[in-house]
Each structure stands twice: as C-alpha cells, then as structure tokens.
Amino acid sequence: MSQSEARTIVGLENLRQIYKEPRAAARLKALDRLDDFCKNFIALSPFFVLASCSDQGHVDASPRGDQPGFVRVPDDHTLFIPDRPGNNRIDSMRNILSNPGVGMIFFVPGFNETLRINGTAAILQDPGLCAEFTVNGKPALSVTRVSVRKVFFHCGKALMRSRLWDPMTYVDRSTFPSHGRILAEQTKTISVEESEAYVARSYRERLY
C-alpha cells in the first residue's frame, strides 16, 4: 500500500480496534509522585530527554546529560535540573515560558527500562540555588524546576529491540561526517576547518 492509500486513523474508537486495552498493571503503574524506586533511578541516571511544546504547538525534544545524580529530587513532587552552556538557542526554555507542560524520559546505561515523567516546569535564576550545582568552579546558568504530575517506569522492549547498549551494534564514528563538517555545510556561514576547530574547542572548554 502506498502512502496515498494509507488510512488515517481518527478517534480513539478506531485506534482501539488495533490496540487492546492495557492491562491493569499498565494503567495503575502511573504515580503522581516520586517514590523511592523513581528517586533511586534518577540518582543513577546521567542522561534524559526533555520534551516541551510552545503555545502554538511546536514540539521540541532536547538531550540533557551530566554526571549521575545531576538532577536533584528535593521532595516527592519536585525535580531541580541545572542548565549548562549550550548553543543559546534556548528552545526548551522559550517553550516553557509560554507553555510549562513538559515530558521527560530518563536513561541509565545498561538498563533497558526507562523512567517517564510528565509535569510543569519553571525556570529559576537564583544565585544561591545555581551555586549548589557548581561544577569546575562554574555555577549552573539557571535551574529548571519541574513539578511532577505523572511518573512511571517504561518497559525495556524498545531498547531491547534497538540493542542500544550492545557494543556489537555501535557504528564506527568515522563512517559519518563530523558535527563540525555538518554544521559548516548546512549553514554555509563558516569553513569546515573553522567549524571543526570551534566544535573541538567547545567540547574541550565549554562543557561547564
């Protein structure tokens, strides 16, 4: 069947003709707070993806990473996320200013299961709070507070199918153009050599 012949599904009733109702455990596993399992998982996690959406419906997903435990849990309903130097596009932050709803998915290397969190976010710029997230003498630029509304563990099928953690599936980095080359050729604003040097310097000097 070609794309033009494909039937677009409209309405939950039609969707449920394909997908069965979830099991009771799948429905009931969603919590409105962070229990000890969730807190321990976040403490082990060095990486998560933050999804946000503007008030006009423009969706963004942004990777966030640091040392395990960089996301702090001050209580059962709150997360604190430090912001580090990036490209200054501030896509997620601009979305949060107009639409505070966010989604997050936390990963732990070697674990097939992930942790999903939905909530509302606010951007805090408090010198004392930013100082609590100091690394290499540099405080966080800002701290995002997420008020948790829904949290649940996601089964490992997606990561198992992808074999994400299997070294045998790793792709030789030399088979794909470098970030510097891609940036130069896509933007046409800088030479490949200048772009390569900029990216290398940024990775070396601007992680924090």
Divide the 208 residues of the chain into consecutive groups of 10 and give the mean pLDDT of each group: 77 92 93 98 98 96 97 98 95 97 98 98 97 96 98 98 98 97 97 97 94
pLDDT at 7: 86
Q: What is the distance between the alpha carbons of residues 148 and 118, in angstroms, rounded to a whole number?
A: 6
Q: What is the distance between the alpha carbons of residues 81 and 108, in angstroms, rounded to a whole number?
A: 17
Residues pairing with 103 in the sheet: 51, 118
pLDDT at 5: 75
Amino acid code (one letter) for 158: A
pTM above 0.85? Answer: yes
Q: What is the dihedral of CA 162, 156, 43, 103, to 10 degrees?
A: 80
Residues pairing with 63 in the sheet: 49
Q: What is the distance between the alpha carbons of residues 70 and 79, in angstroms, rounded to a whole number?
A: 10
Domains and CATH numbers, the chain: 14-162 (2.30.110.10), 171-208 (no CATH)
- Per the CB < 8 A criterion, the answer to whether 19 and 40 are in contact is no
